[in-house]
Chains A and B, each alone.
Chain A
Amino acid sequence: MNQLNRFGIAAAVAAAMSLVSLHAAQYGAAPAAPAARGAAQQEQNVPTPRGAGGHPDLTGMWGGGGGGGGAAKPDEKGNLTVLQRGRPCSKQQFDAGNCAPGINFERDSGVTQRMGPEVPMYKPEFWERVQYLDRNGTKEDPEFHCKPGGVPRMGPPAKIVQTPTEVILLYAQGNQFRVIPIDGRPHDPIKSQDTTWYGDAVGKWEGDTLVVDIVGFNDESWIEWPGWFHSNNMHVIEKYTRTGNTLRWEATVEDPDVLVEPYHVEGRTLRLNPNTKATLTEDLPCEERDSQHMVTHERG
Chain B
Amino acid sequence: MKKIFGVLVIVALSLAAKPAVAHHALQAEFDTAKRGEFTGTLTKFAMINPHVRWFFEVKKADGTTATWEITGAGPQALRQNGMTRIFQVGQTLKVTYAPARDGSNTGRVVTFTFPDGRTVTMYHEDPNNPNDL
Contacts and interface: CB of A to CB of B under 8 A. Distances in A.
Contacts of A297: 28
A143 interface: yes
B15 A70 contact: no
Contacts of B117: 77
Interface stretch (B34-42, B47-55, B58-66, B87-95): B47-55
| Of B6, B50, B121, most A-chain CB atoms within 10 Å | B50
Given A28-B18, A290-B25, A284 B106 contact: no
Given A67-B17, A82-B122, A138-B28, A225 B22 contact: yes
A117 B118 CA distance: 48
Contacts of A79: 118-121
A286 B79 CA distance: 15
A69 B9 contact: yes
Contact of A82 (B8, B23, B24, B129): B8
A281 B79 CA distance: 10
Given A68-B9, A101-B129, A295-B29, A289 B121 contact: no
A36 B83 CA distance: 31
Interface stretch (A8-16, A102-110, A187-195, A202-210): A102-110
Interface size class of B (residues with CB under 8 A): 35 or more
A161 interface: no
Contacts of A84: 10-12, 15, 73, 77, 122-124
A68 B17 CA distance: 10
Nearest to B1: A78
A106 B22 CA distance: 9
A296 B10 contact: no
Interface in B82-133: 100-102, 104, 106, 116-126, 129, 131-133
B23 A287 contact: no
Contacts of B80: 68
A69 B46 CA distance: 25
B49 A298 contact: no
A78 B18 contact: no
A283 interface: yes
A162 interface: no
A35 interface: no
Contacts of A103: 125-126, 129, 131-132
A106 B25 contact: yes
Contact of B27 (A87, A106, A287): A106
A173 interface: yes
Contacts of B25: 106, 137-138, 144, 290, 294, 298-300
Interface in A28-72: 28, 66-72
A295 B123 contact: no
| Of B12, B71, B121, most A-chain CB atoms within 10 Å | B12
A80 B73 contact: no
A82 B132 contact: no
Interface string A142-173: 01101001000111000000000000000001
Nearest to A90: B16
B69 A286 contact: no
A268 B18 CA distance: 10
Interface string A77-102: 11111111111111000100000011
| Nearest 10 CB-CB pairings of A with B | A67-B16, A101-B126, A295-B101, A286-B49, A298-B27, A69-B10, A225-B22, A71-B9, A67-B13, A78-B118
Interface of A: 26-28, 66-74, 77-90, 94, 101-107, 109, 137-138, 141, 143-144, 146, 149, 153-155, 173-174, 225, 268, 281, 283-287, 289-290, 293-300
15 contacts: A26-B18, A26-B21, A27-B18, A28-B18, A67-B14, A67-B16, A69-B9, A71-B10, A72-B10, A74-B8, A82-B123, A83-B121, A173-B19, A289-B69, A300-B22
Given A84-B77, A101-B129, A299-B24, 9 more contacts: A67-B12, A69-B9, A80-B5, A84-B15, A103-B131, A105-B27, A174-B49, A285-B48, A293-B102
